[in-house]
Each structure stands twice: as C-alpha cells, then as structure tokens.
Structure 1
Amino acid sequence: MAYISLSRRDTNVLEKIKDPESDPSSAIQIDATLQKDPHILDQQEYAELSQKERDIILAIQGLELQSAVPRSREMPEIDIVGGYRQCVSRLRSLIDDQPKYASARNNRAQALRRLCGDCMLVTGAPQPPQALLRHIDDAERQEMAQTVLCDLDRSISLLTPSEPYSKISPQTARTLSMAHTQRAAVYLATSKLISSNPVSIDVERRELRWTKLDFEENASRDFAMGGRYGNEIAKGLAVATNPTAKLCGQMVREAMKKEYGPDFPV
C-alpha cells in the first residue's frame, strides 16, 4: 500500500475542511510558572483551598469505590446519595468562602451531574442509568440545573484569558477543559431529548429559548473548547456533534478515498 505524505499546511487545510471551526494557530500556551489560579494569588490561601477541595474529591472517590463493590445481605447499606449530598454541601461552603475559586465550582457541577444526570434541563425524561437519583421532583431538578449551569458559566468566565494568546497555568487549562466538556455533555443530552421533552429551567437562562440545533451547535462549540484546553476526547466529540463538520467530514473522506484509494486513512 502506498502512503501519501502531507505537509503541515496540507494537514491543517484538511483539518479545516473536516472541522470548519478548527484553528491550528490558536493552540493554548501553557506556562507552569504562572499562578495556579489567576484570582487567588496568595499561595497559602490557594494551598488551603485546594487541600479542602482535594479532601472532598477523595470522599467522592471513596463513595464511588463503595458503590462499585458487590454487597452481600450481611453488609450494611451505603448511603451513596447522602454522601454525595454532603460533598456538595462541603463544596458549597468552599465556594461561599472563596467565590472566585473556579475549580470548586467545576467539581460541584460534576457532583450534581452525578446525582441528577445530564438530562437535567428537560422535564419528563426518564433518569439516565448513571444518575444516582432514580426519582427527582421537578423543583429539585430545576434547582440542580440552575446551579450546574451557573457554576460552569462562572468557572469558564473566571478562567478564560482576556487575550486569546495569553499563557495559562496547567491547572487553569485543566479546569477550563473540564468545565467546557461538562457543559457540552449537558447540552448534548438535552439536544437528544428536546423533541419529546420540553426544556424547563429558570426563565432568565438563555438555553430556555434554544432549539435542538442550538443545543447541538453549542455542545459542539464547548467540546471544541474542551479539546483546545487539552481534552482529546472532547476534541473528537466536537466534530462528531457539529452538524456542519459532520457533513464536511463525510465529503472529505469520500473525496480522499476517491483520490487515493479506499485504504487511505482519513
């Protein structure tokens, strides 16, 4: 089999055709010497906050480990939901103490997603299997959805550089990647349910007026940003969920196979 060698420029053009929103020149610049959080400049304060957060994350990991262990009748029942609610409460206290600590907001959103599932923006949908709460009333669902969306919005706004080519710390990049990817997951789940289940969230939220296509496009955009900040899975999902990119990608694959043969890797 013959292999075709493409220049860097050709590769960038090909990627641009497959994904119209890609920009090879917009790579994130990571600088490990920068402050880990741009809003918490006191190293002692950051160390204390991150340690408290780490303790909460370890507690959550412990709950997940316990839930994964097969239990016999003799073993005591573990209140996984109650444990998660306690961790959410501890994260709330951490955020109250330092509202600009974006990482805690990101982790609270993740814990609430584990409780409620990604279908939290719609009403009447069955709970997804990964949701710990098998039954949830509409008021609590709306409250969780509002907190998740606000936390992710705030995390992103706190950490996104004001200049597109500014350097950021590895910790900032990781939190931004997770926040964008989490929001994308919620949007994507909503796009799959909105045809049969109405969106039911706070009237002030912009998402209340979105269509299925709006949710798909914004999910793709957030996945792309998650990929830009280092999440390779999110980067792949950005193209897979982008309506325009999916069409362009299919056209490119067909054209390349016609040009170079069916075995050409695209």
Structure 2
Amino acid sequence: MIPSEPLLSPNDAHVLSTLFNPESPPSTTVKVDPSLPPLPHLTTDELSALQSATRAAIAPLAVPQPAKPAIAAAIAALTALITAHPTYAPAYTNRAQAARLAIDDAQLFAPAHAAELEAILADLARAVELATPLPSGSAVSPAQANLLATAHAHRAYLYLRGSKAAAAAVSGSGLLETGPVGLRGLSRERLEEMASMEFEAAGRFGDRLAREMAVRTNPYAKMCGAIVRGALREEQEG
C-alpha cells in the first residue's frame, strides 16, 4: 500500500512543525529549578552585594542614548567588579552590553572596532562558561537561565551581524574580512549557522524570540521552508 502522506524523519517533522509554528517549544529545553542557588560560585550574601554594585554601575545607561563618558564609566565600574569577583558572571554580560553601546551596530565589524568586539565576545564566552551547569543539561536556577539566554542571544546577534558583513565584503568573496581574528575568513553561511546555534541555545534557556530566530537562520530549516513553499505554490498553481 502506498502511504497517503510522505514519510518524514523525526528531525524533518520537527523542523517543518517549527517553521509553521516557531513559538512551539524546542525539542530539548533545560529544566529551570527555582530551589537552586541563583548563581554558582556565590553565596546569597555575596550575590546581593554584587547585584547592588551592578545596578549602580549600569543605572546611568538606562536612557535611549547614553553618553560616551557614561558608557566608559560603567565599563570601568564593571571591570573593577570583575577584578574583585572574577566568578560573577553577570558582570561579564553587562560589560559586554555596555561595550556594545559604544559602537554603532553598522560599524561593529569595522577594522577600527576589532579589539572591542574581540573583548565583547570574550566576556560573553566567560559568562557562558561560568553560568553553564555541569554536567551539561543539568537544571539551572531562573537567574542562570536568564543570564545564559541573554549571553547566547547576544553572541548570536553578533554572529548574525558578522554574516551580513561577510556578505558585503568589498572583495566579493563572501568571507568575513574584518572583525575579531577568530572570525575572519568565515563565510556568510558559516556565521549564519553559528548564529542559529546560539539562538537555539538561548531558546533552550527560555528566550522565545531566540527560538524563532534559530529557525529563521538555520540553513536546513531554510531549505525545508523553501521546498515546502515551492510545493505549496505548485499545488496552488496546479
């Protein structure tokens, strides 16, 4: 007997389902346990004091267009916090966000900002390293989940900007020619794939918008989507 519907692999079925309903839960999510300590490496008393110091450092940035001196002061305060408490992960994500405020998005991958962007990515990597549970896949606290979602989504955005910079390469090579040394030479497709993986990671920690972006930037999902749209178009025209 010939099946009335095409047989799809579990992965194909999941991708197609997500394409039509990107808000659907991802196939694997990290368990969030409110009973866990907010952040590893820190006692409750330490965390409370560090949170107060962080709020004071970034408060001047809570305006539509913070001035460059205010950004520099916030970065300096967060750097001092990191020096004194190197395992406090939120200081790294906040410093990365503050540093990015000092650079126009369109100029992120300009040669003049390569060192700053390298430092931003290093801060995000350190935050992820400090906050990721061991073993991988273990439950996390709500604070951990929020921090990891933020760090992964920020890194995804930077990779996505990198893919656009590669596409606009002056030489027409389609490779990233500027920016951090570790990313130079990567293709637009590879950077977009890296962005998709980071969005997916952010989605696993509860970022709903990142889940949708993971599908939109996933090369395999794009291919499936193109096939489905083509089939639907043929069906309508036929």
TM-score by length of structure 2 reads: 0.80
Paired with 2:25 and 2:209, the residues of 1 have a C-alpha distance of 17
1:7-86 equivalences in 2 (<5 Å)? 14-17=13-16, 24-40=26-42, 42-61=43-62, 64-65=63-64, 67=65, 80-86=67-73
Paired with 1:34 and 1:253, the residues of 2 have a C-alpha distance of 45
Specify the alignment match of 2:131 in structure 1: 159
Paired with 2:117 and 2:143, the residues of 1 have a C-alpha distance of 25
Q: How many angstroms does 1:24 deviate by?
A: 4.6
Specify the alignment match of 1:132 in structure 2: none
Q: Does 1:97 align with 2:115?
A: no
Paired with 2:103 and 2:134, the residues of 1 have a C-alpha distance of 33
Specify the alignment match of 2:3 in structure 1: none
Specify the alignment match of 2:110 in structure 1: 123
Q: Does 1:196 align with 2:169?
A: yes
Q: How many angstroms does 1:243 deviate by?
A: 1.9
Paired with 1:240 and 1:25, the residues of 2 have a C-alpha distance of 16
Paired with 1:192 and 1:83, the residues of 2 have a C-alpha distance of 29
Q: Does 1:114 align with 2:101?
A: yes
Specify the alignment match of 1:135 in structure 2: none
Paired residue secondary structure (1:36): coil
Matched letter for residue 84 of structure 1: I
| Shift in alpha-carbon separation, 1:240–1:96, aligned structure 2, 3 A | same
Q: How many angstroms does 1:52 deviate by?
A: 0.6
Structure 1 unaligned regions, length at least 5: 1-9, 68-78, 125-137
The number of residue pairs the alignment matches comes to 219
Question: Are the equivalent residues in 2 in contact too, given 1:224–1:235 (CA < 8 A)?
Answer: yes
Match of 1:212 among 178, 182, 188: 188
| Shift in alpha-carbon separation, 1:101–1:256, aligned structure 2, 3 A | farther
Paired with 2:153 and 2:169, the residues of 1 have a C-alpha distance of 24
Paired with 2:184 and 2:140, the residues of 1 have a C-alpha distance of 33
Question: Are the equivalent residues in 2 in contact too, given 1:121–1:199 (CA < 8 A)?
Answer: no
Matched letter for residue 96 of structure 1: T
Q: How many angstroms does 1:200 deviate by?
A: 3.2
Question: Are the equivalent residues in 1 in contact too, given 2:169–2:177 (CA < 8 A)?
Answer: no
Paired with 1:244 and 1:11, the residues of 2 have a C-alpha distance of 14
Aligned-pair identity in percent equals 32
TM-score by length of structure 1 reads: 0.72
Q: Deviations over 1:88-117 (max 9, x none)?
A: 111111111111111110111111111113
Question: Are the equivalent residues in 2 in contact too, given 1:19–1:248 (CA < 8 A)?
Answer: no
Paired with 2:71 and 2:131, the residues of 1 have a C-alpha distance of 26
